[in-house]
Structures are given as structure tokens and as C-alpha cells.
Amino acid sequence: MDVYEEIFDMNKTLRFMAVPTLALGALALSTAPAMAHDGPHSYQSTLGQINGSSASGTITVDVNGNEAHAVLKVSGLAETFMDAPYPHVQHIHGGAQGTCPDPSVDANGDGVISTTEGAPSYGGIVTTLSTSGDTSPAAGLDLKVAGQGGSYTVDRTFELNAETKAALEAGTAVVVVHGLDPATLTKAGAEAKSDLVPELPLAATSPALCGTLAEGMAMPVGGADTGVAATSAAPDAGALALGGGLALVALAGGAYVIRRRSVGSAA
């Protein structure tokens, strides 16, 4: 075999060896997106005003596996109710269109988009963004763990349930902050009763801020303070605190009554 034949055979060998190498490289590239999907994710939203609210807010939800770290910052909400800090409940909603409602959903024409009227847009509660304790939908109306006053921050780390995770991944997770100043509503809206708790005014449970959570740049693992750890304890089944010495008490069958606490009683 002369030198030219040796070179020809060597080139064939090199080309043959290159085939599996290239194939492995292509396989690695094809699996890269799937592996990236298992890593941390971050979702954000700038909350928009609803029902004439003058408030503003932002939220970031960082997800790593089944753990979520949410930071909600709001300002400009209604500040007081019955001479006490206004209790604002807020949630991640899901399972619907993944949008915030517009005025066209005001079916009864009272000038207020109620929680029920907005539900086809943003869906039911999948996570309660409580200030402490339970983050499940069961804590959705627990005013003791609601945000208090016109400006506050909720900083929570909690276990992500399947419904919330699915809504985030589908792009249908919507954050809603509830609680309006009745003085800013129409006469009909200010006089109407809540669609969720008829003993309360409509303003108390209607949306004030809303925003769809969109995926953005993920936070590095361990790169931020994880905030207050959630507990597994269920919310107190007694009274739900309400300003001005009133309490919203849950009764059997889902009914609610309002009673005035005696002086010196616990909140």
C-alpha cells in the first residue's frame, strides 16, 4: 500500500468515527430544552387597576421544583375600614382564561366587577397569598392573614400545589388583590352586598388589582432570601378578624354572621 492509499484509508476511518460523535452532539442539543424545563422558573406581573382603584403592585413568584417563593408589594389600596386597617385578601387564581376582566363582564350594571363576575376570566383560587400560615384556597377569606392597610408586602415560601403549578406552566395564573373603598364606587355599587359574603359590602371582596403571571428570568438557586416559611397548620376556625371591633364568624353550611367583639377580647 503506497502513501496515498494509507492517507485515503485514514480519512475514511476519521469520517466513520465522526458519525457517532455528531449524532451524540445532536442528541444532547435535542434534549437541552427538556432538561432546562426541570430547572428553576420565575414568574412576574405588574398588577393593573380594576373597579376604579388607584392602587399599584408587583409580584414575583420563583419556583424550584415544588417550592415557590412569592413576593407581593402593593400600595395605594383602601387604607381603613371601620376605623381599622383595611384587610385585603389576595390570591393566585387559575383554571380559566388567564386574563383580567374588563368592564364588559359587569353583568348587573352596578359599575363594579364582582369576584364572581370576574371568575370566568381569572378562575378560582388555587393559592392564597396569606401573610402567614395556610396558603391553600381554604384560607381565601381568612381576614386575619390578609394584607393590612393601603401598602404592604407579602413575602412567603410555600409548597406549590398541582393546580397552581399547572396554571403557572400554562400561562393562566392570575394574581388578584381584593378590597375597594366604597366611597369610590357608584351609588348602586356602594350599597350592594358582597357576592361572596352577603353580610359584607360588595366593596370588601371585589377586585382592586389584577395581573397575569408571565415567565421571565429565573432566580439562581439559593440566590435570594426565601422569606417566611409556610406552616402546615390550618387557619383558626373561629372568627375572621374585621376592623372596628367586628368579627366575621364562619358557621356550618358556609354561612357567615357579623358580631361585635367585647372590649379586651382577642382579635
Distances (CA, A) of 87 to 43, 113, 242: 25, 19, 7
Q: Taking 70 as the threshold, does the pLDDT of residue 32 lie above it?
A: no
- Sheet containing 239-242: which strands, arranged edge to edge? 239-242, 246-250, 256-260
Per-residue confidence band for 82, with pLDDT thresholds at 50, 70 and 90:
confident
- Grid coordinates given for 165: 403549578
> Mean pLDDT lowest for which of 16-30, 62-76, 83-97, 149-163?
16-30
Provide the residue ranges of all domains of the chain, joining segments of one domain with +.
Answer: 1-37, 41-236
pTM above 0.75, yes or no: no
The dihedral over CA atoms of 178, 95, 145, 55, expressed in degrees to the nearest 10, equals -30
Please list, residue by residue across 207-246, b when 16 or more beta carbons sit within 10 angstroms of its beta carbon and e when fewer do: bbbbbbbeeeebbeeeeeeeeeebeeeebeeebbbbbebb
pLDDT digits (tens, 9 = 90+) for 222-247: 333 323 232 333 333 333 333 333 33
248 alpha-carbon distance from chain centroid: 24
What confidence category does residue 217 fall into, taking pLDDT thresholds of 50, 70 and 90?
A: low
φ, ψ of residue 106 to 5 degrees: the values are -70, 85
Over residues 51-55, the mean pLDDT reads 96
Q: Whose CA is closest to 130, among 92, 161, 164, 166? A: 92
CATH code, residues 41-236:
2.60.40.200
